[in-house]
Amino acid sequence: MKLTYDPTHNVAYISLKDKPAEVETIRVSADLNVDIAPDGTVYGIELLNANEQLAGVHHGELLVVNEASGRSSSVKLPA
């Protein structure tokens, strides 16, 4: 999994797998798109207006938590 952020366009993309040649982008809401393959596999999630969606909870940091081990790490998001 990879999270990318484009501060110029304020868009974040969570890539779950490498995209095949063909995916359909489903608009879930004004700020959320999901890329899905014909077989139903989800390949990625696009967050529009990303800094507002990602920075709201942990004071401008993205917190990644491994629920099995209890370990966590954080990444400071660009302002």
DSSP assignment letter at 78 = P
Per-residue confidence (pLDDT) for residue 58, from 0 to 100 = 59
What domain range is 24 assigned to? Answer: 2-76
Asked whether the predicted pLDDT for residue 32 surpasses 80, the reply is yes
Asked whether the predicted pLDDT for residue 25 surpasses 80, the reply is yes
Separation of CA 40 from chain center: 18
Per-residue confidence (pLDDT) for residue 3, from 0 to 100 = 83
Pairwise CA distance, residues 60 & 54, whole Å: 7
Asked whether the predicted pLDDT for residue 24 surpasses 90, the reply is yes
Condensed to tens digits (0 to 9), the pLDDT of residues 37-77 reads: 989 999 999 999 887 777 655 566 777 788 999 898 887 76
Q: How many domains does one find in the chain?
A: 1
